[in-house]
Structure 1
Amino acid sequence: MSVSVASYPDLRDRGVFISGGGSGIGAALVEAFVHQGSRVAFIDIAEDDSNALVARLSEGVAHRPVFVKADIRDIEDLRAAIALATARIGPVRVLVNNAARDDRHALDELSPEGWDESQAVNLRHQFFAAQAVAQSMREAGGGSIINFSSIAFMLNMGDVPAYATAKAGVIGLTKSLAGKLGPDNIRVNAILPGMVVTERQLRLWLDEDAIAAMQDQQCLKRSLTPADMVGPCLYLASDASRGMTAQSMIIDGGVF
């Protein structure tokens, strides 16, 4: 990792499942948990990036990460991937629902199909992943579910109505799951990133002006990177946050 992070001994050998782990924030999280000594499995649809990540993280680590190709829009595919991952790494004690896609849409051009696609990519899979791991977490004595939302729904961004709706829904889902799963010692929290500069964001949406405009709103006058999401996620995954559930952590450099 490019930044120093705390070591959490309780995460060693713990089963961790991450969606969208092949690149961007997800790849940074995969790397971080691998270096904590966790047993990590991740899914993505991007095979080349994912296989390259596994190859890079396979030397000098306690457990080689496991990549399973899966499409989060296909719930049966997602369930099968989680079952395969569990067979490979053991019970999932940490679920990180990271996968998302912040597509832009003109108001007059967004179709019902496009709307449903956005909910499938950004919200629906989070519930069904939690559903799929809940029993193994119960049997293991508890666990931590970390749902990735976004500050986008608080920024009045006019070109992401479907994405913003989904990311607001993640907060409601987080609180409801926390209430349901708390008696089983399963904690559920959310992380809300601000503008995180990734290769994909630079390729599709961000330029120097957009980055400068966001930094002007931030208290911290620098760009956020995937590494900035690592510390908060490890903390929520570990027993260090054992009394914390149904909460949202905003990691945006101080916009809110």
Structure 2
Amino acid sequence: MEEEHRSLTSHFATYPSLEGRSVLVTGGATGIGASIVSHFALQGARVAFFDVQDDPARELIESLKAEVDAVPEYLRCDLTDVNALKASVNRAIGTLGGVDVLVNNAANDQRHTIDEVTPEYWDASIAINLRPQFFMIQSVLPAMKAAGRGSIINMSSIAWMIPSTGVPVYIAAKAAIVGLTRTLAHECGPQGIRVNAVLPGAIATEKQRRLVYTPEYKAEIMASQALKRDVLPEDVARLVLFLAADDSSAITNQSYVVDGGWV
């Protein structure tokens, strides 16, 4: 694991502006989120991440202890509970002494058909795939406005652009995130706060490999991508670092695709 962490930084950019910055990441215990947490911590940022997966969260923290000066803080939080979300954000901001970066990463791409979607299922899906993104932003804005700066990075997906099938409510949420990003970039820009979106493609996370990476799906991915290789969580995390750093200080209201050239 230590060698893996060294590989995250040995050949790639270091961003001095991220050292000491306060970063919040939702869904940070596994997959893309865990890679984002690791990359920020290895840049010297102070990170708090939200999830409900206790064991993976503890394993991530343990794996980073020998490599970073500031060990990430795990806050167990059900993001579908808006009151709990707000309380956890306030706790994190208090612990970190502010917030410079928010990465809205948490999502659940559970497969479903049109016919089986009930109003209750719709509400439950939106409650994890869209609603927390808005209320996380609402919760961090006072601190960012007071500081006169901030970078908010919302995770969408190329799924609505392809478009994917078999996940219609998830697709609706991921498309809505791009619209939310664009309007909030204009609402928050006068306060020095940037808002951008990242749209991953078929990312080879451990979960995706376990659940959906059949030989048939892998063949579809390789046929669709311009680059004939797996796109990995760290490919996404490195773009997130750039959008959080001062190197991208003139960039807002944008959506960036990381998909190996699928769309």
- TM-score (ref. length: structure 1): 0.97
User: For 1:68, what is the secondary structure of its paired residue?
Assistant: strand
Q: State the shift of 1:61 in Å.
A: 1.5
Which residue is equivalent to 2:75?
68
1:130 equivalenced with 2:141 (yes/no): no
1:162 equivalenced with 2:169 (yes/no): yes
Q: State the shift of 1:139 in Å.
A: 1.3
Find 2:54's aligned residue among 24, 47, 55.
47
Which residue is equivalent to 1:173?
180
CA distance in 2, matches of 1:228, 1:45: 24
Cα deviation, 1:18-45, whole Å, max 9, x if unaligned, reads: 0000000000000000000001000100
Unaligned runs of 5+ in 2: none
CA distance in 1, matches of 2:148, 2:165: 43
- TM-score (ref. length: structure 2): 0.95
1:107-256 superposed matches below 5 A: 107-256=114-263
1:10 equivalenced with 2:17 (yes/no): yes
Cα deviation, 1:186-207, whole Å, max 9, x if unaligned, reads: 0000000000011111222221
Which residue is equivalent to 2:85?
78
Cα deviation, 1:88-119, whole Å, max 9, x if unaligned, reads: 11211000000011111012111111111111
Q: State the shift of 1:158 in Å.
A: 2.2
Which residue is equivalent to 2:45?
38
Letter in 2 for 1:218: Q
Letter in 1 for 2:143: S
User: For 2:189, what is the secondary structure of its paired residue?
Assistant: helix
1:25 equivalenced with 2:65 (yes/no): no
Residue identity over aligned pairs, in percent, reads 46
